[in-house]
Structure 1
Amino acid sequence: MPRLLVTVCFFFVYAGAFAQLRLPAVLSSNMVLQRNATVKLWGWAGPGEKIIVRLPWSKKVDTVVTSRDARWSIDVQTPEAGGPYTIALDGRTSVKLENVLIGEVWVCSGQSNMEWSGNHGLKDIKAELPSCADNNIRFFHVPKTTAAYPQDDVKATWTACDSNTLKSFSAVAYFFGKKLKKELNVPVGLINSSWGGTPAEVWTPAELVQGDEKLKSAAAKLAPSNGWPFTPGSSYNAMIAPLTPFRVAGAIWYQGESNVNTAYGYTQLFNTMIGSWRKAWGYDFPFYYVQIAPFRYTPGQKAALLREAQTASLQYPRTGMAVITDLVDDTTNIHPQNKHDVGLRLANWALGDAYGKPGLAYKSPLYEKMEQQKGKIVLYFTNAEGGLKTSGGKATQFFIAGPDKQFVPADVKLEGNKAIVSAKTVKQPEAVRFSFSNAGMGNVFNGAGLPLNPFRTDNWEE
């Protein structure tokens, strides 16, 4: 009889523990929920267990019954920005989510230039530390993890921005979020899910890479490293998939350096990745990214081709690209130190494009078309408000070629949204290139001071 009693007691203790109400890490105290949106709350409990959800901004009490698979989820409506709030969830056990804010939430991902932080010696961050404390900027830093299949949780916590939490957080993400918070006057939540060295394949579901011959072939050329994964889907499964039920306003991305050797497939890969994220989240959120910076890659023009591939992704819906050719002080350093202005340019994309803030210049000039006119080529550009101009002296990094495909430095005359390009030694010009090299840094800008995007008018094989 005593043994039976012990067994019965053990069974009920075990069953009770097994049925404990649980939530994923991203749904926790100190989080930021997306404002004015239908957001999902979800987690685990005992099969058939009724979960009661009490939201402090609503008079309504919401309930949901846990499925036979021990999972539950419920959609709730969030109000305008505000807080802090306490959300109460009750089943057989209870959970309280405290110090919750309502605001704008962004995913920040990519490789090392997104990951780079104060711990990497960035002067921009060191200067911020004495005054960076802000309870209305919250961080969620996903640790580096891989998985063979999509996971349902990560090991991370929400924290407020202060001189300790900022040191290890993405500098680009921080400056992006700081600008949004200032201009929108709402709390901002930043989810940093980045890993230095990673190619875009690891952030893309494996079946989408392996199921396409072009992408599969490019992925097979990735060079293994001891510092980061290269298996398609491995970072997506562990560092993105668990976040996809969590409502976000959009994503920012800084990556591409590890794909320069397979630039020919990057546009398709990148578009596929963006599309897969949007499909997983269930809506077409804005996606803004940084064009890779000038750097002395060797050999060839592989970085120029990667930038060209990134530019082509601007045709994909709801995307935007920050050009940063003017923000580099050392082309032998693949990690430019100026992360402040990179974050600001991404923020201006979000403010102008996603949030509709008027009067913001956030688009770099882009090559539109060319005309051949009596030994010259006339180039036309979009986003050239205020007219094209140099930062000093003659326009540089323009090259022109004739039928022999031999490019020589060009003479350039800037007129409004046009550039008239010629060279005395090229009598029949056929093509123009601007800053189309690994480390080229041009000096042409629009009236708002945004640099002209590198381009070529030809499609000659490199």
Structure 2
Amino acid sequence: MKLFVSMLRILIFFTFLFPAKSFATFVDSLRLSDALQNNMVVQQNKPFKVWGKAESGRKVVIHADWLSGSTEVYADTTGDFMAIIPVPKALKGDFTPHRMDVIAGGEKVALTNLLIGDVWLCSGQSNMQFAVKEMKDAEQVIYKADQPHIRLLNVALNFSETPLTNFRGEWQNCSPESVREFSAVGYSFGKKLLDSLQFPIGLVFTGIGASGVQAYIPKEDLANDTMLNRVYLQPYLADPKSKEPIDGGFSFEKVIRPYLLYNAMVHPLINLSVKGFIWYQGEANHLERASYVRATQTMITSWRSDFSQGELPFYYVQIAPFFHDEENPTLAFDAYFREAQEKVADLNNTYMVSTMDVGEAKDLHPKNKRPVGERLAAVALNRVYHKLDVSYQGPVMDDVSFHGKRAYVSFEPETLGNGLQTNDGQPPKFFYVAGSDRIFYPAEALIDGERIVVESDKVTEIASVRYAFFNYPVTNLENKAGFPALPFRTDRWEETLNENR
């Protein structure tokens, strides 16, 4: 209920309602997919699908100005056609506008002001949807957002019982006007990529506040997994709401229903060539553990399979600190959830970034979104674009040794960068220790070279160290590249009712 109330506070900007529009010039039977529009970014260095509708049996000719010849295909018996054309590699500093003509009989669709670059799909719930106009220093960001080499597409909210091929939303040049309603995390991510790579970036936002991960997974994939079928699918199918007609209107209940958002807001995009995915979601599932890990990994593999472009990179955000209207450091249900989120990255070509230092303990939707997007971009720059000099990792606990009332915590060497520090010059905060009685007490911590020394007069024989392991710590421990240390616990004690009450 507390989470529900927090989400309700920003419902006013949750739902994008776009008027229906025609995004390409067409007459009669020839029309292109809603994903193919003027102003879009065409994914570089990959085969590019051009698909749509034409008169059954009609020859469709596609010519792009970056190709010397044309490609011809025929519409099938249902009028569907799909052509695949090559796209060259994007060149640094090349922002040449391009044109594509699609011709069938006497009809022609002309797509103009196209750019060749990389397209990233941004998805999740409210902290990914959180608009530029709401972020910290919003007016300054908006003032500087005349960025015509970034292109933005907001997919309008919709739900469907069956997979759709159409959606509403318009590719736009990034400008102070168009960026206001776009994802702050997504824009911050794309802006950092553009600044570093110096070629066009396309950003597609498809998501909605308060949504559960199960809403983004195909029905058949939920059904084929015993755990997901039991936890998500069957309870919904047994609910009378599953028999009601589905419309496109928002409700908190509807955005957690399984598979409806996938059908309406992901499936229409699966033929689009993309570079990868960024994801910020979890608050709606924060009381789950193993089922959330399984669901998120299933979603990733489902999307990769549907987009048919290999193991596309998937970078995601750990949920931020939040007190759930109770300032009680013994409550740790979100800490256990963050721990579960880490396990999603056991899947190949995934990575999680932390927000522990840029959260706001009393705001479920912290406004400092720029570091979040830029951290996701740093991961991409290092791991996708092979800029190995770009740091992207925060300190990750590696080992602990216990010596009476002291413990010595070390970190994975590759995550230390040039060493440990705090962002405020104060000792590291939010270390707790416990003895064999499993009662935790606040501990003093200090940086000793590449390790942390922790001690407490309350515990004579330390058995466990926990760092930032409760619902709402806003942390100060980081490496010298400015990336926060991940929360951790050195024990594997069972989660207790007291931590979840």
> Normalising by the residue count of structure 1, what TM-score does the alignment of the two structures yield?
0.91
The residue that corresponds to 2:251 in the other structure is: 226
The residue that corresponds to 1:58 in the other structure is: 67
1:129 and 1:79 mapped to 2: Cα distance? Answer: 32
The answer on whether the counterparts of 1:387 and 1:415 sit within 8 Å (CA) in structure 2 is no
Displaced runs of 4 or more, over 6 A: 220-225
Shift of the alpha carbon at 1:134?
A: 1.9
1:373 and 1:209 mapped to 2: Cα distance? Answer: 48
Shift of the alpha carbon at 1:297?
A: 2.4
Select 2:323's aligned residue among 296, 305, 308: 296
Shift of the alpha carbon at 1:450?
A: 1.0
Q: Secondary structure at the match of 1:261?
A: coil
Shift of the alpha carbon at 1:19?
A: 6.9
Deviations 1:435-462 (CA, angstroms, capped at 9, x unpaired): 0011012221112121100111222122
Select 1:68's aligned residue among 72, 77, 80: 77
Shift of the alpha carbon at 1:103?
A: 0.6
The answer on whether the counterparts of 2:325 and 2:362 sit within 8 Å (CA) in structure 1 is no
- The count of corresponding residues between Structure 1 and Structure 2 is 444
1:389 pairs with 2:398 = no
Letter in 2 for 1:122: M
2:39 and 2:27 mapped to 1: Cα distance? Answer: 26
1:361 pairs with 2:391 = yes
1:456 pairs with 2:489 = yes
Deviations 1:6-54 (CA, angstroms, capped at 9, x unpaired): xxxxxxxxxxx99711111111111101111111111111222111111
Letter in 2 for 1:75: I
Shift of the alpha carbon at 1:185?
A: 0.4
The answer on whether the counterparts of 1:288 and 1:321 sit within 8 Å (CA) in structure 2 is yes
1:142 pairs with 2:155 = yes
2:191 and 2:56 mapped to 1: Cα distance? Answer: 43
1:303 and 1:30 mapped to 2: Cα distance? Answer: 41
1:49 pairs with 2:49 = no
The answer on whether the counterparts of 1:115 and 1:171 sit within 8 Å (CA) in structure 2 is yes
For residues 54-453 of structure 1, what are the structure 2 equivalents within 5 Å? 54-81=63-90, 82-92=95-105, 93-119=107-133, 121-219=134-232, 226-227=251-252, 228-282=254-308, 283-297=310-324, 300-328=331-359, 330-382=360-412, 383-391=415-423, 392-453=425-486
The residue that corresponds to 2:5 in the other structure is: none
Q: Between 216-225 and 246-255, report the one with greater CA deviation.
A: 216-225
Deviations 1:410-442 (CA, angstroms, capped at 9, x unpaired): 233433432233333323322111000110122
Report the CA distance shift for 1:219/1:88 in structure 2 as closer, same or farther (over 3 A): same
2:27 and 2:143 mapped to 1: Cα distance? Answer: 46
Quick check: which has more Rg, 1 or 2? 1
The answer on whether the counterparts of 2:358 and 2:474 sit within 8 Å (CA) in structure 1 is no
State the Cα RMSD in Å: 2.2
The answer on whether the counterparts of 1:287 and 1:318 sit within 8 Å (CA) in structure 2 is yes
The answer on whether the counterparts of 1:386 and 1:416 sit within 8 Å (CA) in structure 2 is no
Report the CA distance shift for 1:218/1:262 in structure 2 as closer, same or farther (over 3 A): farther
Shift of the alpha carbon at 1:323?
A: 0.9
The answer on whether the counterparts of 2:156 and 2:206 sit within 8 Å (CA) in structure 1 is yes
Shift of the alpha carbon at 1:357?
A: 1.2
1:456 and 1:21 mapped to 2: Cα distance? Answer: 59
The answer on whether the counterparts of 2:122 and 2:204 sit within 8 Å (CA) in structure 1 is yes
The answer on whether the counterparts of 2:404 and 2:462 sit within 8 Å (CA) in structure 1 is no
Report the CA distance shift for 1:394/1:420 in structure 2 as closer, same or farther (over 3 A): same
2:417 and 2:142 mapped to 1: Cα distance? Answer: 37
The answer on whether the counterparts of 1:264 and 1:305 sit within 8 Å (CA) in structure 2 is no
2:291 and 2:474 mapped to 1: Cα distance? Answer: 25
Letter in 1 for 2:361: T
The answer on whether the counterparts of 1:117 and 1:125 sit within 8 Å (CA) in structure 2 is no
Letter in 2 for 1:276: S
The answer on whether the counterparts of 1:136 and 1:188 sit within 8 Å (CA) in structure 2 is yes
Deviations 1:50-77 (CA, angstroms, capped at 9, x unpaired): 1111111111211111122221112111
1:345 and 1:446 mapped to 2: Cα distance? Answer: 14
Report percent identity of matched pairs. 34
Letter in 1 for 2:418: G
Deviations 1:375-432 (CA, angstroms, capped at 9, x unpaired): 5433221201222222322221111112111111223343343223333332332211
For structure 2, which runs of at least 5 residues remain unmatched after alignment?
1-25, 242-249, 496-501
Q: Secondary structure at the match of 2:391?
A: coil
Shift of the alpha carbon at 1:281?
A: 0.7
For structure 1, which runs of at least 5 residues remain unmatched after alignment?
1-16
> Normalising by the residue count of structure 2, what TM-score does the alignment of the two structures yield?
0.84
2:116 and 2:27 mapped to 1: Cα distance? Answer: 32
The residue that corresponds to 1:7 in the other structure is: none
Q: Secondary structure at the match of 2:153?
A: strand
Deviations 1:286-326 (CA, angstroms, capped at 9, x unpaired): 11111111001267322111111111122211112221111
Q: Secondary structure at the match of 1:63?
A: strand
Shift of the alpha carbon at 1:207?
A: 2.6
